[in-house]
Chains A and B, each alone.
Chain A
Amino acid sequence: MSRYDARQAVNAFFLAPTEALARLLPPGLSPLEARPRHGVLAITSFDFSASEVGPYAELALSVLVSPYCPKGEALPHAATFPFFLMTTTQASAEDARTRWALPCAPYSGVVQFSHDAERYTVEMSVEGVPALRLSVRRGPPAPSTRIYQLFTRREASLYRVALAIEGPFEERDDEGGRLELFDHPVAAMISELLADDTPILEQSMEAGVQRFGVLTPFGGAA
């Protein structure tokens, strides 16, 4: 198990047309629909205070996909396929690419977390150019342990890995999240995908832990 200690996490989930999301996925994976003909684009961000590659922050864009649930295995809470990841250090980017087959962007930027009494906010910028600002509302967190399934791809090979997230966690779907997109290619990519810029689900966590299982080949060629 590889452990990543998160000082904070800010996540939001948005509706996007299923067809558009399907184009981002390798064969063998399909978007999970939250509404008819609408899948989910996830923007997730973590501020890691400790990991095997030191402290760093990251922001990922993922598609929620149908989980793989064979008999006898634990049922994951959700499954995702990250198609974009930006981390803030060279070591973490290398770790993401080589160990987890994650699509880490070739540049590093700044992922800045902040909060006030009512909201958690994350801002991403690259070389001083702001890309996005996401804020979710705060509320009373509850202890939670969830198992997620992560699908990743390296060239023609598809992998899956179990990811456990544990910590004081909050989840809301009362449409209080806010996303601001600026003049940046990453923001443009998000904007083109979204059906609506208000998240259908917001999550936040303080002082939690991520534990990755073993990366396992999945299915046929991607």
Chain B
Amino acid sequence: MSETPHWTSHDLSHFRSTTGDDVFDIHDHFARWSEGSRPGGYDLYLKALRSAPTPRVSLHGATEGLINLASYNYLGLSCRPEVINAAVEAVQTFGLGAAGSPHLSGLLKIHEDFAAELAAFKGAEAALLFPSGYSANVGTLAALVGAEDWVIADMSAHASIFDGCQLAQAKLSLFRHNDMASLKKRLQGAKGRKLVVVEGVYSMDGDVAPLDEVAALCAEHGARLMVDEAHSAFVYGENGRGLGEHYGVEHAVDVHFGTLSKSLGGMGGYVAGSKTLIDYLRAYARSQVFSCALSPPVVGGLRAALAIARAEPELRTKLWENVVICREALLAEGVDIGDSTSQVIPIMIRDDRRIFDICRSLEAAGVYLNPILYPAVKRAQSRFRVSISAAHAPDELRLAAKIIGDVLRAYGVTA
């Protein structure tokens, strides 16, 4: 039996919230841990891709043409020629940067047009653009709630939701993941104004919120509802408007949040909703007020990507066909894919040390995936997260599933 390496006694959760004689004292501890953890497996993070995040990628120092199952380019739009051409056109017209906050000189016509197009797509009165998805959640929550208000959030919600609550100093009540009895209990216990926050697709497990039930509970208890559709917008619903459309409860969602970096393949975040909501956020969502407006080429590309997403529903059809192909191929290989029902498919390894070796073997065999482990997920729930794209060729996905099955069998990891 091999000896346990010293660095495994700690993990990334141990280096925050410490005290010492100097605020930098913890850096030495972290540096010592990093010296061991990097060769132990953490060097698999922060590896630069040498190519665009298309279905095949090249890694620095690694083989060429790896099958890319790690990028969340769900509709394959980030490298579509129309998108690239639109970005080039926008940079030629407006330059690289907006050179100002949206409140001052940074608001360009291209921003106004795109926000209007997004609002129209979402069936909302208005939409507001943010520099990133993270800043959209943080800024929106900090603007909407305060120290006397309750935010009731799913325990598996994204870090940006919790950081927004921190910034707002709101009272935070957590309900168990997708557990409606737990949500009801929290709603009953929260006296005062309340905002419920859930995600559409949860990015670590690939499961979805029971949004119809969430909406009904919010209505019953007088709570506002915010839905983070980072991974579900442009993917779910007959028209791709997201999980709200899928469940037929768009009208019950007060704050529609989404990102522009996933299905649309660009960068940024947005909130869509009523005109009064958006006007308020425009004034008080400080992450937007005090940031430079989105870069014009990004917005130019996003406008083209949105137009394609609307005009080509077959992209969503292709994505869901690919999801079925990949799921079936992985299951046929005996791979444990957890409770996923979406285009995000976890490959459960449940071994926080061997996952690094498995990752290296997958890479050597031609598949690019990222290891995900504690504290990003629970202990012994380590996994790879497969992100399916409409741009994947079916045979690519079948080959990847075969490679994954072979590698996992070699390590004795089976469902």
Does any Cβ of A come within 8 Å of B155's Cβ? yes
B14 close to A75 (CB less than 8 A): yes
For A59-81 the 0/1 string (1 means CB < 8 A from B) is 00000001111111001010000
Q: Does A95 contact B (CB under 8 A)?
A: no
| A35 pairs with B25, CB closer than 8 A | no
The distance in angstroms between the C-alpha atoms of A195 and B378, with both chains bound, is 19
Question: Which of chain A's residues have a CB closer than 8 A to the CB of B381?
Answer: 174
A36 lies within 8 A of B26 (CB): no
Contact B172 A67 (CB under 8 A): no
Knowing A66-B17, A69-B25, A75-B14, say if A171 contacts B162 (CB, 8 Å).
no
CB pair A77–B10 under 8 Å, yes or no, is yes
Contacts of A146 in B (CB 8 A): 9
Cβ of A36 and Cβ of B18 under 8 Å apart?
no
Output the nearest chain B residue to A75 by Cβ-Cβ distance.
B29
B333 located at the interface, meaning its Cβ lies under 8 Å from any Cβ of chain A in the complex: no
Question: Hey, which chain A residues are within 8 Å of B4, CB to CB?
Answer: 143
> Separation in Å of the A31 CB from the closest CB of chain B?
9
Q: Which residue of A lies closest to B378 (CB)?
A: A173
Do A75 and B10 contact each other (CB < 8 Å), given the known contacts A36-B165, A70-B25, A174-B381? yes
Q: How far is the CA of A75 from the CA of B26 in the complex (A)?
A: 9
- Given A69-B18, A171-B379, does the pair A36, B166 have CB atoms closer than 8 Å? yes
B residues 182-219 near A (Cβ < 8 Å) are: 182
The reply to whether B174 and A195 contact each other, CB–CB distance below 8 Å, is yes
A36 contacts B163, C-beta separation under 8 Å: yes
- Interface presence of A37 (CB below 8 A): yes
A69 CB contact (under 8 Å) in B29, B172, B174: B29
A198 close to B (CB within 8 Å): yes
Q: B13's closest neighbor in chain A, by CB?
A: A34
B157 to chain A, nearest CB (A): 10
Residues of A within 8 A of B378 (CB): 173-174
Q: CA–CA, A32 to B18, complex, Å?
A: 8
Within 8 Å by CB of B19, from A15, A69, A77, A171, lies A69
Given contacts A35-B174, A38-B172, A172-B380, are A66 and B18 in contact (CB under 8 A)? yes
Main secondary structure on chain B at its contact with chain A?
Answer: mixed
State whether A195 and B173 are in contact (beta carbons under 8 Å apart), knowing that A146-B9, A174-B381 are contacts in the complex: yes
Does any Cβ of B come within 8 Å of A52's Cβ?
A: no
Is B171 an interface residue when CB atoms closer than 8 A count as contact? yes
- Tell yes or no: B412 within 8 A of A by CB: no
**How distant is B227 from chain A, measured CB to nearest CB, in Å?**
19
A68 & B165 in contact (Cβ 8 Å cutoff)? no
Is B28 in contact with chain A by the CB < 8 A criterion?
yes
In the complex, A69 Cα to B172 Cα: how many Å? Answer: 29
CB distance from A124 to the nearest CB of B (A): 26
Report the separation of the CA atoms of residues A198 and B175 in the bound assembly, to the nearest whole angstrom: 11
Name the contact of A198 in the complex, choosing from B25, B173, B176, B380 (C-beta under 8 A): B176
Asked if B176 and A70 make an inter-chain contact with CB atoms under 8 angstroms apart, the answer reads no
Residues of B within 8 A of A171 (CB): 379
- A137 CB to closest chain B CB (Å) equals 12
Binary contact readout A123-158 vs B (1 if CB under 8 angstroms, 0 otherwise): 000000000000000000001011000000000000
A171 to B33, CA, bound (A): 21
Decide: A68 near B20, CB < 8 A? Known: A35-B162, A38-B174.
Answer: yes
A196: Cβ under 8 A from any B Cβ? yes
Contact among A70, A75, A77, A173 with B379 in the assembled complex (CB-CB below 8 Å): A173
Minimum distance in angstroms from B197 CB to a CB of chain A = 12
Could you name 9 residue pairs across A and B whose Cβ atoms are closer than 8 Å? A35-B172, A36-B163, A68-B19, A70-B20, A70-B21, A70-B25, A146-B9, A172-B380, A173-B380
Smallest CB-CB A-B distances: 3 pairs: A36-B162, A69-B18, A37-B172
* B interface residues with partner A (beta carbon < 8 Å): 4, 9-10, 14, 17-22, 25-26, 28-29, 33, 155, 162-163, 165-166, 171-174, 176, 182, 378-381
- Other A-B contacts than A35-B172, A69-B20, A174-B378, 19 sampled, CB-CB below 8 A, are A32-B17, A33-B17, A36-B166, A36-B172, A38-B172, A67-B18, A67-B19, A69-B26, A72-B28, A75-B14, A75-B29, A77-B9, A77-B10, A77-B14, A145-B9, A172-B379, A174-B380, A175-B176, A198-B176
